[in-house]
Structure 1
Amino acid sequence: MAKQTTTAAKPAAPKARRAYDESAIKTLSSLEHIRLRPGMYIGRLGDGSNFNDGIYVLIKEVIDNSIDEFIMGHGSRIEIKIDTHTVSIADRGRGIPLGKVIECASVINTGGKYNDDVFQFSVGLNGVGIKAVNALSSRFVIRSCREGKFVEAEFSQGSLVDQRTGSTKSPNGTSVQFTPDTGIFGSYNYNIEFLEQRLRNYAYLNTGLTLRFNGQNISSENGLRDLLSEEVGDEPLYPILHHRGERLEFAFTHTETYGESHFSFVNGQYTNDGGTHLSAFREGVLKGVNEFYKKNFSGVDVREGIAGAVAVRLKDPIFESQTKNKLGNTDIRAWIVQEVREAVIDLLHKNKAAAETIERKVTHNERLRRELNTVKKQAKEKAKKIALKIPNLKDCKYHRGDRKENEQSTIFLTEGQSASGSMVSSRDPYTQAIFSLRGKPQNMFGRKRTEIYTNEELYNLMQALGIEDDLEGLRFSRIVIATDADHDGFHIRNLLLTYFFSFFEELILDGRVFILETPLFRVRNKKETRYCYNDTERDDAVKTISSPEVTRFKGLGEISPSEFGQFIGPDIRLVEVNIKSLSSVHHDIEFYMGKNTPTRRDFIMENLV
């Protein structure tokens, strides 16, 4: 990421006004428009540190085409290689028709996905994806082999550079090699764990498919059952229940965790924001459970602690954006609810032990909810607070879901009044709220949810966030932990993360929790000031700024309000809190925050530097 620099400059001279006439109207080619407005096509850009950064979307767009070939019964192997910044992907499908290779790679709204006889369950619907990869790459090479002949085309930033044709002994298939353009993405690096997770998702959804990534084979025999097994590890209360139909596959189990965790897919696309298929699946599970037990359990009791996955194949999926994060088809609800309901009843009949465990779990959830409601009532009567009068909360005007908010409302969780002082003075009061912690919050690992109500600070935090009943009431789009970069700050950060993971895991899974990055150093002279976030940036600044004065910020409270504003403004640096799998994070939290003090002490002593 580019270094933040503040320099003194003379006011720019006002620009001469240009007449608004025919000469002011521009018509861009489709690929020029992609380069000018990449966010419209691939969402965020990023540097590779976030699972949803653009460089991973480019890879996904190419692999999606190979997956579509596999779904249609052509090619059971996909090769993926990454060499520094260059990505190579090759399949053994039918290959793009040779006379259309260049058009398919460079002309918007050109492709075979519009023909239901050729592609029935496709992720790529509008002929944009591969063109976006081409436009946003400094070098893009596509090659198609069909029946002993090939066509290869090379592009640079979407412009055709070279093309070749001829005979080949290679099998049918399409291969793409591209290097994302640093002029668009800046400095970036691939996170191999993110890529492996994406490829595992492809494997779970396409049994029989092998993805070979940098020499490693990734495949799945049991589909979504394997996915859940990987995610929940040794925590399921009963063996995973699994159903696979012609168009619908789902799996679920219960764990001892709070809340519910779901993974939803459409035609192989991970819809991390869910949609109608996920809501229909949740409804179908509830109806199936109630019909089997002849009870009237509430949805919250049935789904508390559930981990589920659902995948559906549709001919005409309607997504809310090009990045396909949420499904919008309303006509699919009825048949998904019906198939899930019938399948759940059948699975419970066939798995008596699991059925008994589910009944005990739901009954237990029901009893805990009643106890929790009693504690809630007592806590509310004692507190007599309303949302805007929560102690230590400096609220903002617009919140998540407000028409003017535009998904920017943020709450900063700060370490004490001194740290929050600078932020309160420099924040945007319309979209940025501050919640000041009095000190180190209680370690909530292994505790009951009712104990939140006996801890005033954590109760107030829950009320400030609006997540007491469910996450639908979440008042902020982003929850940002802003603590000092020292041992106490890191400890407070871990205690907050333990709190969220223990009781509000969905916040993490939905990508709502972040860590604020603030500069560790200020390097300046009379002409220039540069803020540095690590030792490397500091050393570079010292070399380039003459006679520099170097200041080490020991805590957020040492940064003046006039300086702090830029660190929580448009150029804010945030690190999203994400996890590789549910099972791994629960194991890590138990090790670092549990009661195994002797083991943890030995570990610290062995690894102390």
Structure 2
Amino acid sequence: MLEELNPNQYTEDNIRSLDWQEHIRIRPGMYIGKLGDGSTPDDGIYILVKEVIDNCIDEFAMGAGKTIEVTIKDRLVTVRDYGRGIPLGKVVDVVSKMNTGGKYDSKAFKKSIGLNGVGTKAVNALSNYFRVESVRDNQQKAAEFSAGVLTLEEDLVETTKRRGTKVSFIADETIFKNYKYRNEYVEKMLRNYTYLNRGLTLYYNGDKFYSEFGLKDLLEDNITAEDMVYPVIHLEGDDIEIALTHSKSQYSEEYYSFVNGQNTTQGGTHLGAFREGVVRTLKEFYNKNFEASDIRKSIVAAIAVKVEEPVFESQTKTKLGSTDMGPKGPSVRTFVNDFIKTKLDNFLHKNPEIADQLLRKILQAERERKELSGIRKLAKERAKKASLHNKKLRDCRVHLTDVKNPRYLESTLFITEGDSASGSITKSRDVNTQAVFSLRGKPLNSYGMTKKIVYENEEFNLLQAALDIEEDYENLRYNNIVIATDADVDGMHIRLLLITFFLQFFPELIKEGHLYILQTPLFRVRNKKETIYCYSDEERINAIEKLKPKPEITRFKGLGEISPDEFKHFIGQDIRLDPVMLDKAMSIEKLLEFYMGKNTPDRQDFIINNLKVELDTAEELLGS
């Protein structure tokens, strides 16, 4: 009777054991987070590069090799270090056998970045080409793999090459669809390595990266001297380094945090302790019970700690979960707090001019907070009321704060113009990870305005509430904030106004790579057998050629014209995002002043000098 009710038998035949590489390829998210196409800095292809470089950094930390060379040509990544080299008899095992590595001996790799030996094996399994070479004692051993399967093992040969390890790989395009490496993201990763490893020289496609002053260099590269309230305070100790200043122009807090050389973009116990320690120390130094938000407002700071056997909240190591500095060490909170209390207090006593500048900044923040308190209260009441009745935000289930959910990095907020566009996205979105915020017409040009406008303007206030970034970025709810507007003049203008809003009040969202522009197709070219969506004139021409003689061509004028059934193709696995990036050479203030200020004649000259006209021929449009 039971067999009749349950025809799907559950027997020994249903049980199978996966090879190590099969498991990684079936569940890549467990090892490298999300996949992506390279448009966001936490996409898997950059994690692959990082995992290989991390091993080189560990060699440098052990005093072996001061130079690392990285090249990326098309999709081929090559990383060469001059460390000790993998022991020649274990070259194949180290990159292809789980639970095999040199980091289980805590004496050899006491405070390394990766401890479980999975990283390079994941790179191997997720690459359709992977080659490893090791040179030691004038001998070389090499092996090649495809999708984690050994395809070639070379015999031991004599060589005159310098010792070290060289890894080359091509990420599997069947797993990472339509991917490409963006130099801006790779360069930022490499710069962070140099800030945290003074004395290390990194070459990327021939360009040199080097840091003399560590975290001090990091801050000075990311905030101009004119925008600093006071010169960077740079403090160092055993297993800890901090740097901090305050910005004259930005409103919110901005932090760079690292553990054992890993950029912990989600912070963790060390960053929480740092924020607490700065507040406590400054309260005691000035002997005033300041609000924590007044002390931290506009702070730009960096912290790096070295923790023995660190515990991260995911394989991608974006948030530190360790509560202690090591098995026998103090708590992270106590260690960081004690360091700041001693070193920062001493620094301020020795530098009274900087102490005065910092005090004036805190008092200014206090005045501004009190001025805003009344309107903040009204805005919060309005936002609370609106959240009950207003359908501007159609939320998703998984957010960036849900770090234990494997999809937290996929959390996305689409900011759309009008009800028609938001309707199409809402009907076709993934309700687990994709939320929609609908604008009503064009937002306000916020250039030159104070933070007061964020509370007075209903849309800005509701957007701030949706992102949950009023106080700081700890609670940012979405990893990707995507501006989804029509590809016409009005749509471009709305993009510009939204980017201005973020640059003016929340520049860290752009600096940390959270803001994007959604690319949607301009044309649909189809015949009875096939449909091709085209994002440019070049793609349209190629599609017409492929589907000739006379395909049907549709020009999409707005997002609202695209049906939900079609839209799901553009915001799903094949989503195309253009990151909004800041040029390090251009200050935010000057950027906004030129593009959004009252210098209309200058902008007119700029447009005339840079105008490009592209004309479509009737023949191309008709497909003949």
Q: Same fold (TM over 0.5)?
A: yes
- Are 2:593 and 1:603 equivalent residues in the alignment? no
Q: In the TM superposition, what whole-angstrom CA distance separates every residue of 1:94-114 from its partner, at most 9, and x where no partner exists?
A: 222222222111111111111
Counterpart residue type for residue 312 of structure 1: V
- Are 2:244 and 1:242 equivalent residues in the alignment? no
- Report SS of the residue matched to 1:182: coil
Question: Take 1:525 and 1:448, find their aligned partners in 2: how far apart are those partners?
Answer: 54
Residues 214 and 394 of structure 1, relative CA distance in 2, 3 Å threshold:
closer
158-167 vs 325-334, which deviates more? 158-167
- Report SS of the residue matched to 2:155: strand
Question: Take 1:82 and 1:379, find their aligned partners in 2: how far apart are those partners?
Answer: 49
Structure 1 residue 586, shift from structure 2 partner: 4.9
Residues 540 and 114 of structure 1, relative CA distance in 2, 3 Å threshold:
same
Question: Take 2:486 and 2:494, find their aligned partners in 1: how far apart are those partners?
Answer: 9
- Are 2:438 and 1:439 equivalent residues in the alignment? no
Question: Take 2:495 and 2:217, find their aligned partners in 1: how far apart are those partners?
Answer: 32
Residues 513 and 54 of structure 1, relative CA distance in 2, 3 Å threshold:
same
* 2:343 aligned residue: 343
Aligned residue-pair number:
593
Q: In the TM superposition, what whole-angstrom CA distance separates every residue of 1:67-104 from its partner, at most 9, and x where no partner exists?
A: 11111111111122223222222222122222222211
Question: Take 1:217 and 1:476, find their aligned partners in 2: how far apart are those partners?
Answer: 34
Is the Cα–Cα contact under 8 Å of residues 447 and 501 in structure 2 kept in the other structure?
A: yes
Matches for 1:314-463 after TM superposition, within 5 Å: 314-331=307-324, 332-379=332-379, 385-390=385-390, 393=392, 395-396=394-395, 398=397, 400=399, 407=408, 410-423=412-425, 434-463=436-465
* 1:82 aligned residue: 72
* 2:276 aligned residue: 283
- Structure 2 unaligned segments of length 5 or more: list them: 1-6, 325-331, 613-624
Is the Cα–Cα contact under 8 Å of residues 137 and 181 in structure 1 kept in the other structure?
A: yes
Q: Structure 2-normalised TM-score?
A: 0.88
Question: Take 1:475 and 1:200, find their aligned partners in 2: how far apart are those partners?
Answer: 27
Structure 1 residue 465, shift from structure 2 partner: 4.2
Question: Take 1:505 and 1:477, find their aligned partners in 2: how far apart are those partners?
Answer: 15
Residues 107 and 252 of structure 1, relative CA distance in 2, 3 Å threshold:
same
Q: In the TM superposition, what whole-angstrom CA distance separates every residue of 1:148-198 from its partner, at most 9, and x where no partner exists?
A: 233222223222212221322333222222222223323332222221211
Structure 1 residue 561, shift from structure 2 partner: 4.3
- Are 2:157 and 1:166 equivalent residues in the alignment? yes
Q: Structure 1-normalised TM-score?
A: 0.90
Structure 1 residue 560, shift from structure 2 partner: 3.5
Match of 1:307 among 286, 295, 300: 300
Counterpart residue type for residue 524 of structure 1: R
Is the Cα–Cα contact under 8 Å of residues 228 and 246 in structure 2 kept in the other structure?
A: yes
Is the Cα–Cα contact under 8 Å of residues 501 and 508 in structure 1 kept in the other structure?
A: yes
Counterpart residue type for residue 360 of structure 1: R
Question: Take 1:508 and 1:309, find their aligned partners in 2: how far apart are those partners?
Answer: 17
512-521 vs 123-132, which deviates more? 512-521
* 2:179 aligned residue: 188
Question: Take 1:269 and 1:524, find their aligned partners in 2: how far apart are those partners?
Answer: 47
- Report SS of the residue matched to 1:184: coil
Q: In the TM superposition, what whole-angstrom CA distance separates every residue of 1:339-374 from its partner, at most 9, and x where no partner exists?
A: 122211122122222111110000100110011112
* 2:91 aligned residue: 101
- Report SS of the residue matched to 1:258: coil
Question: Take 1:132 and 1:466, find their aligned partners in 2: how far apart are those partners?
Answer: 35
Counterpart residue type for residue 53 of structure 1: D
Larger relative contact order, structure 1 or 2 (CA cutoff 8 Å, min sep 6)? 1
* 2:545 aligned residue: 543
Counterpart residue type for residue 174 of structure 1: T
Question: Take 1:231 and 1:239, find their aligned partners in 2: how far apart are those partners?
Answer: 13
Matches for 1:202-281 after TM superposition, within 5 Å: 202-234=193-225, 235-256=227-248, 257-281=250-274
* 1:9 aligned residue: none
Aligned identity (percent) is 53
- Report SS of the residue matched to 1:188: coil
Q: RMSD of the TM alignment (CA)?
A: 2.8
- Report SS of the residue matched to 1:444: coil
Counterpart residue type for residue 289 of structure 1: L
Structure 1 residue 512, shift from structure 2 partner: 4.3
465-474 vs 21-30, which deviates more? 465-474
* 2:169 aligned residue: 178
Structure 1 residue 221, shift from structure 2 partner: 0.5
Is the Cα–Cα contact under 8 Å of residues 136 and 164 in structure 2 kept in the other structure?
A: yes
Is the Cα–Cα contact under 8 Å of residues 39 and 577 in structure 2 kept in the other structure?
A: no
558-567 vs 309-318, which deviates more? 558-567
Residues 585 and 100 of structure 1, relative CA distance in 2, 3 Å threshold:
farther
Structure 1 residue 494, shift from structure 2 partner: 1.4
- Report SS of the residue matched to 2:256: strand
* 2:329 aligned residue: none
- Are 2:42 and 1:52 equivalent residues in the alignment? yes
Is the Cα–Cα contact under 8 Å of residues 411 and 478 in structure 1 kept in the other structure?
A: yes
Residues 413 and 80 of structure 1, relative CA distance in 2, 3 Å threshold:
closer
Counterpart residue type for residue 308 of structure 2: K
Structure 1 residue 283, shift from structure 2 partner: 1.1
- Report SS of the residue matched to 1:543: helix
Counterpart residue type for residue 482 of structure 2: V
Is the Cα–Cα contact under 8 Å of residues 520 and 533 in structure 1 kept in the other structure?
A: yes
- Report SS of the residue matched to 1:123: coil
285-294 vs 224-233, which deviates more? 285-294
Question: Take 1:50 and 1:211, find their aligned partners in 2: how far apart are those partners?
Answer: 23
Residues 114 and 398 of structure 1, relative CA distance in 2, 3 Å threshold:
closer
Q: In the TM superposition, what whole-angstrom CA distance separates every residue of 1:533-588 from its partner, at most 9, and x where no partner exists?
A: 22233223222335311110111222234544544456544444454659655543
